[in-house]
């Protein structure tokens, strides 16, 4: 699995050609990859994303800006993941030996590259304020840096399948680990809601299977509530009415009740991901669970 960086990455060449700080790859453009893509991360607006290759090459799409890559660096071990900063003006890359590479406004708080690891690092995530991060190994070992706190690990457990990724809770006071068989391990204030552990999967889960938005919402939840938004407000998220506001038609009363995350006091001022996170909290109480959503074609409205 040792993979050295193979010269300047394609995205670096594009950056020089574009002579711009943001090396954005237009959709549909054929790009020759020196190494496979291993992770993707969305921007805060959800109007763009970064892809990272195992050689550290970075590819930016939509409103994601390019801040540098590890494509020209000699890597001791391949890159396995990335995470943007809270404002989206930088990102960290993590290698399987625990090495951390910081770009843009991402700060370096330490790495596990000088440690003897029992198993390789498979992912990372940042604290809500971006002043720290966690690394997770395939045996469930956790490594905390900056203001990231340690809440436990699965390294002493007998795992049926290796850990493939992690996700912190919105307040950063806990986290979930997920194994390739769908097993979930909850620590700190992370709650266990069920898992696929013991199920027969047609394919094992990978880190790309569990990508979530910056506010802790899953792709399925985003897709469902996006449909509600299109049905309710024709794609607008900043609707501000006397009774209902935002892109999902929240009553001011329900927004105040379920917005326990420190988001703006008016749904119309919150980002789509923030509104969906509050909608997930609402659904947990009124729609049978966090993955519940109203009739996406009937526009029930008035949440």
Q: 3-state secondary structure string, the chain?
A: CCCCCCCCCHHHHHHHHHCCCCCECCCCCCCCCCCCEEEEEECCCCCEEEEEECCCCEEEEECCCCCCCCCCCCCCCCEEEEEECCCCCEEEEEECCCCEEEEECCCCCCCCCCCCCCCCEEEEEECCCCCEEEEEECCCCEEEEECCCCCCCCCCCCCCCCEEEEEECCCCCEEEEEECCCCEEEEECCCCCCCCCCCCCCCCCCHHHHCCCCCCCCHHHHHHHHHHHHHHHCCCCCCECCCEECCCCEEHHHHHHHCCCCCCCCHHHCCHHHHHHHHHHHHHHHCCCCCCCCCCCCCCCCC
Backbone angles phi, psi at 245, to 5 degrees: -150, 170
Task: Please say which residue of 89, 115, 141 terminates a domain.
Answer: 115
Across all residues in the chain, what is the average pLDDT? 79
Pair (5, 90) in one structural domain: yes
Whether 243 is in a domain gets the answer yes
Pair (161, 86) in one structural domain: no
For 73-82, 102-111, 143-152, 206-215, which range has the lowest pLDDT when averaged over its residues? 206-215
- Match 């706190």 to its residue by tokens: 149
Pair (49, 111) in one structural domain: yes
Whether 296 is in a domain gets the answer no
Domain count for the chain, please give it: 3
Cα distance between residue 33 and residue 10, in whole Å: 7
Whether 253 is in a domain gets the answer yes
Highest mean pLDDT among 61-70, 180-189, 280-289: 61-70
Pair (282, 238) in one structural domain: yes
Backbone angles phi, psi at 44, to 5 degrees: -65, -30
Pair (280, 178) in one structural domain: no
The confidence band for 17, taking pLDDT boundaries of 50, 70 and 90, is very low
Question: Mind listing the pLDDT tens digit for each residue in 248-275?
Answer: 888 998 898 888 777 788 999 988 878 8
Task: Please say which residue of 96, 115, 134 terminates a domain.
Answer: 115
Whether 52 is in a domain gets the answer yes
The confidence band for 213, taking pLDDT boundaries of 50, 70 and 90, is very low
Q: What is the pLDDT of residue 21?
A: 32
Pair (25, 47) in one structural domain: yes
Pair (104, 6) in one structural domain: yes
Tokens read off for 87: 């404002």
**Structural contact between residues 136 and 121, judged by C-beta atoms closer than 8 angstroms:** yes
Cα distance between residue 36 and residue 38, in whole Å: 6
Question: Mind listing the pLDDT tens digit for each residue in 47-73?
Answer: 899 999 999 999 999 999 999 999 888
Whether 300 is in a domain gets the answer no
Residue 140 has pLDDT above 80, yes or no: yes
User: What percent of the chain clears pLDDT 70, i.e. is strictly above it?
Assistant: 79
Residue 284 has pLDDT above 50, yes or no: yes
At 234, which CATH number?
1.10.530.10
Q: What is the pLDDT of residue 50?
A: 93
Whether 122 is in a domain gets the answer yes
Pair (99, 10) in one structural domain: yes
Whether 303 is in a domain gets the answer no
Pair (66, 93) in one structural domain: yes
Task: Please say which residue of 146, 178, 211 terminates a domain.
Answer: 211
Whether 2 is in a domain gets the answer yes
Pair (5, 49) in one structural domain: yes
Pair (106, 178) in one structural domain: no
Residue 198 has pLDDT above 60, yes or no: no
CA distances 125 to 92, 111, 184, 255, Å, are 9, 13, 16, 28
Pair (241, 189) in one structural domain: no
Q: What is the pLDDT of residue 259?
A: 82
Domain with 246, as residue range(s), is 219-286
Q: What is the pLDDT of residue 191?
A: 84
Cα distance between residue 243 and residue 252, in whole Å: 6
Residue 115 has pLDDT above 60, yes or no: yes
For 10-14, 118-122, 201-205, which range has the lowest pLDDT when averaged over its residues? 10-14
- Match 């991901």 to its residue by tokens: 273
Q: What is the pLDDT of residue 206?
A: 46
Question: Mind listing the pLDDT tens digit for each residue in 155-182?
Answer: 888 888 888 889 999 899 999 998 877 8
Tokens read off for 109: 């708080």
Q: Over range 237-243, report the average pLDDT.
A: 88
The confidence band for 300, taking pLDDT boundaries of 50, 70 and 90, is low
């Amino acid at each position: 699995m040792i993979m050295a960086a193979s010269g300047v990455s394609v995205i670096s060449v594009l950056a020089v050609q574009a002579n711009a700080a943001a090396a954005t790859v237009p959709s549909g453009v054929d790009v020759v990859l020196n190494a496979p893509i291993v992770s993707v991360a969305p921007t805060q607006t959800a109007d763009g994303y970064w892809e990272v290759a195992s050689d550290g090459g970075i590819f930016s799409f939509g409103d994601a800006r390019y801040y540098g890559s590890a494509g020209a660096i000699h890597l001791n071990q391949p890159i396995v993941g990335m995470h943007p900063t809270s404002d989206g003006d930088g990102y960290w890359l993590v290698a399987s030996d625990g090495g951390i590479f910081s770009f843009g406004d991402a700060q370096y708080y330490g790495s596990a590259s000088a440690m003897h690891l029992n198993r390789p690092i498979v992912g990372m995530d940042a604290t809500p304020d971006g002043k720290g991060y966690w690394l997770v190994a395939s045996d469930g070992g956790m490594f905390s840096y900056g203001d990231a706190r340690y809440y436990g690990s699965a390294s002493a457990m007998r795992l049926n399948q290796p850990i493939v990724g992690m996700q912190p809770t919105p307040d950063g006071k806990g986290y979930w680990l997920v194994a390739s068989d769908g097993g979930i391990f909850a620590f700190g204030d992370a709650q266990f809601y069920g898992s696929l552990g013991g199920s027969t999967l047609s394919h094992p889960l990978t880190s790309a299977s569990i990508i979530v938005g910056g506010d802790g919402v899953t792709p399925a939840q985003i897709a469902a509530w996006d449909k509600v938004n299109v049905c309710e407000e024709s794609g607008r998220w900043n609707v501000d009415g006397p009774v209902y506001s935002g892109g999902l038609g929240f009553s001011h009363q329900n927004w105040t009740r379920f917005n326990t995350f420190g988001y703006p006091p008016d749904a119309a001022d919150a980002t789509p991901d923030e509104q969906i996170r509050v909608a997930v909290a609402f659904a947990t109480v009124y729609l049978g669970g966090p993955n519940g959503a109203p009739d996406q074609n009937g526009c029930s409205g008035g949440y």
